[in-house]
């Protein structure tokens, strides 16, 4: 019915769009590095799931949502600098995951692969990606309100639970892409399209739309390159994204000129 | 006798990290009334506003009239200058339809901008591009957009030039008269307090004095509030 390449193409398109949709909010919350490192937390989840013989996806989801709650909790405590703790914990997760993972699964878990999936499984991933993208658009006002001014947002009835919603949406999008892009690089897929789109956008609405479109385009382009040259899809997607980011830099200078 | 009370504060206290910032603060605010909060730096004026808005945990009672819309102009407002957020989108945060604003919303927005002396061309600028004065006026137009029953203004003219300061207070006075909006205003400028406030609340960790400005702000009260140096030598920090 479908080849791993076709599955990769559709996942790349829809999870890429979802990554691009959530990326602007993560970037504007100054969480690019935290977001990038969040995907590392999935690795012990994969290892534990493999150990207990269950689908690694469930391990990934549980660990990533746990990490989203942890970041939210840390942000609510002004005495603790979240970036240092998150950086340490996420890097530790990576180290623990590597030690726990069976050798054969290490490269695939870190850098992704062309996934072999049943049709229902594939459809569930694609439908989830669509729903999560839609959520980013529907809740854009609340997400942005909390970024612009948490105080004004709260006075207007937009409370911190939307921050938690954003983090959980972000964690779920990362979870959806991990099979294709890998735990080490998936976080980057959410940040790169948003970084490029930021260089060329003058309004938030255009920014989110451009970032979503770029997320889809970069991911599909990366999968195509990986298929052509027999690369792993994760590195191909990330490198294509970084190349486009470099090209977009002069546009950023023009925008501010 | 007095106007209907829209805010009643009883024995308000705020403690942050073990330090008592405010204690035993009690006052009321009537509909359409202008109440100025004065006091030295570190007196807890901004903390008072944040507690009233529910942004800080506090002891005591803060009772707003049910269903009252509140507009707030914070002292500090800064957005990442590189963030591509247009001024129009900043206003759209208050609209139910962020992606497709209605014509009525935009029309209403134009009116509020005109009131604050802003041209609609400001809407296409990104928030990071605006000057300090433009941002301050934009914030005031933003706070007034939904015609709130009360406006909390934390040093609203701190970033605007002297010429425009008069306009700001004239607009506030007009809004107070025409819309019956109550004003709760932090100001360092006693002239403003005398001219525009019906009542003054002198704050230095607690209420030092309150009442009509002319009667309340006498020399002993000012000395208690600001020390021997007096108000006019009081450092103005922006």
Which candidate, B185, B184, B193, places its Cα nearest to that of B222? B193
Number of H helices, E strands in chain B: 8, 9
pTM of the predicted protein model: 0.89
Q: Which chain B residue is nearest to residue A25, measuring alpha carbons?
A: B83
Q: What is the pLDDT of residues B62-102, one digit of tens each?
A: 999 998 999 999 988 888 888 999 999 999 999 988 999 99
- Compute the average pLDDT of residues B41-70: 94
pLDDT value at position B228?
66
DSSP label of B3: P
A28 to chain B, minimum CA–CA distance in Å?
7
Q: Smallest Cα–Cα separation from B139: which of A210, A219, A164, A148? A: A148
- Among A28, A149, A205, beta carbon nearest to B99: A205
> B15 to each of B20, B56, B64, B81, B131, how far by Cα in Å?
4, 9, 21, 33, 35
Instruction: Give the end-to-end CA distance of chain B in Å, rounded to a whole number.
Output: 39
Nearest to B114 by CA among B158, B145, B85, B82: B145
Phi, psi of A86 (to 5 degrees): -60, -45
Distance from C-alpha of B37 to C-alpha of B29, rounded to nearest angstrom: 12
Residues A12 and A199: beta-carbon distance below 8 Å = no
Kindly determine whether residue A152 and residue B74, on different chains, have CB atoms separated by under 8 Å.
Answer: yes
Contacts of A205 in chain B (CB under 8 A): 89, 98-99
Instruction: Choose the mutation target among A148, A150, A162 for the interface with B, i.e. most B CBs under 10 Å.
Output: A148
Q: Which residues touch A155 (CB under 8 Å, ≥6 apart)? A: B53, B54, B55, B70, B72
Q: What span, in angstroms and rounded, lies between the C-alpha atoms of B50 and B46?
A: 6
Name the nearest CA neighbour of A175 among A165, A164, A189.
A189
Q: Which residues of A touch B99 (CB under 8 A)?
A: 137, 140, 205
- A and B: number of Cβ contacts within 8 A: 68
Q: Tokens 């049709």 sit at which residue?
A: A119
A180 sits in which H/E element: helix A161-181
> Nearest CA to A108 among A14, A6, A186, A220?
A186
Q: How far apart are CA B186 and CA A245, in angstroms?
A: 46
> B224-229: long-range contacts (C-beta < 8 A, 24 or more apart)?
B225/B38, B225/B39, B225/B40, B226/B40, B227/B40
**3-class DSSP state for residue A109?**
helix
Q: Measure the CA–CA gap between B207 and B56, rounded to whole angstroms.
A: 19
Residue B9's nearest CA partner among B60, B50, B53 is: B60
Which residues in chain A are contacts of B98 at CB distance < 8 A? 140-141, 144, 205
H, E, C per residue of B88-102: HHHHHCCCCCCCCCC
Concatenate the DSSP letters of all residues of A110-126 into one string: HH-------HHHHHHHH
User: Domains of chain A (ranges plus CATH)?
Assistant: 4-256 (1.10.3470.10)
What domains are there in chain B, each with its CATH number?
1-69+184-238 (3.40.50.300)
Distance CA B72, CA A235 (A): 48
Can you tell me the distance from the alpha carbon of B70 to that of B184, in angstroms, rounded to the nearest whole number?
11
Name the residue facing A141 among B50, B93, B126 (closest C-beta). Answer: B93
Check CB contact under 8 Å for B89 and A156.
Answer: no
Per residue in B148-173, pLDDT tens? 999 999 988 876 777 777 888 888 88
Q: How far apart are CA A12 and CA A18, in angstroms?
A: 10
A97 CA to chain B: closest CA distance, Å? 36
Q: For residue B80, list chain A residues with Cβ-Cβ distance below 8 A.
A: 28, 30
CB contact under 8 A, B89 and A155: no
pLDDT tens for the 257 residues of chain A, in order: 467 788 899 999 999 999 999 999 999 988 888 777 888 899 999 999 988 999 889 999 999 999 999 888 888 776 666 677 778 888 888 899 889 888 888 888 888 888 888 899 999 999 999 999 999 999 999 999 999 999 999 999 999 999 999 999 999 999 999 988 888 888 889 999 999 999 889 899 999 999 999 999 999 999 999 999 988 899 999 999 999 999 998 877 666 55
Which residues of chain B does A28 touch, with a Cβ-Cβ cutoff of 8 Å? Answer: 80, 83, 85
Between CA B209 and CA B216, with CA B210 as vertex, the angle to 5 degrees is: 80
The predicted complex's ipTM stands at 0.87
């Amino acid at each position: 019915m479908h080849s791993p390449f076709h599955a990769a193409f559709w996942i790349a398109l829809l999870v890429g769009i979802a990554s691009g949709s959530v990326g602007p909010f993560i970037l504007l919350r100054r969480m690019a590095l935290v977001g990038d490192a969040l995907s590392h937390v999935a690795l012990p989840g994969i290892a534990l799931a493999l150990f207990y013989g269950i689908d690694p996806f469930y391990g990934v989801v549980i660990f990533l949502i746990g990490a989203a709650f942890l970041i939210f909790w840390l942000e609510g405590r002004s005495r603790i600098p979240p970036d240092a703790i998150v950086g340490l914990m996420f890097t530790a997760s990576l180290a623990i995951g590597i030690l726990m993972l069976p050798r054969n699964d290490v490269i695939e878990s870190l850098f992704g692969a062309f996934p072999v999936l049943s049709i229902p499984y594939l459809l569930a991933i694609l439908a989830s990606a669509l729903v999560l993208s839609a959520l980013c658009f529907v809740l854009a006002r609340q997400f942005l309100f909390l970024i612009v001014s948490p105080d004004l947002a709260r006075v207007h009835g937009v409370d911190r639970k939307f921050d938690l919603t954003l983090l959980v949406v972000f964690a779920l999008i990362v979870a959806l892409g991990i099979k294709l892009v890998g735990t080490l690089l998936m976080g980057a897929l959410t940040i790169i399209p948003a970084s490029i789109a930021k260089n060329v956008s003058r309004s938030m609405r255009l920014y989110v739309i451009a970032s979503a479109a770029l997320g889809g385009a970069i991911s599909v382009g990366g999968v195509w390159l990986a298929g052509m040259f027999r690369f792993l899809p994760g590195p191909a997607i990330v490198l294509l994204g970084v190349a486009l980011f470099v090209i977009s830099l002069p546009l950023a200078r023009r925008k501010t000129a | 006798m007095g106007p209907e009370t829209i805010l009643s504060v009883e024995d308000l206290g705020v403690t942050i990290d073990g330090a008592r910032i405010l204690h035993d603060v009690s006052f009321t605010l009537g509909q359409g009334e202008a109440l100025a909060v004065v006091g030295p730096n570190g007196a807890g004026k901004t903390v008072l506003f944040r507690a009233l808005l529910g942004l800080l945990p506090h002891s005591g009672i803060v009772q707003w009239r049910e269903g009252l819309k509140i507009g707030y102009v914070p002292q500090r407002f800064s957005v990442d200058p590189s963030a591509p957020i247009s001024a129009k989108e900043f206003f759209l945060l208050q609209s139910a339809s962020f992606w497709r604003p209605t014509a009525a919303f935009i029309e209403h927005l134009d009116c509020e901008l005109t009131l604050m002396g802003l041209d609609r061309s400001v809407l296409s600028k990104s928030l990071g591009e605006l000057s300090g004065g433009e941002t301050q006026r934009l914030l005031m137009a933003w706070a007034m957009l939904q015609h709130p029953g009360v406006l909390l203004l934390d040093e609203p003219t701190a970033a605007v030039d002297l010429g425009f300061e008069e306009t700001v207070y004239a607009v506030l006075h007009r809004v107070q008269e025409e819309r019956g909006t109550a004003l709760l205003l932090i100001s360092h400028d006693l002239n403003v307090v005398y001219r525009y406030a019906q009542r003054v609340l002198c704050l230095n960790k607690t209420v030092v004095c309150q009442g009509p400005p002319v009667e309340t702000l006498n020399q002993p009260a000012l000395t208690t509030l600001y020390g021997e140096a007096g108000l006019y030598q009081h450092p103005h920090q922006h």
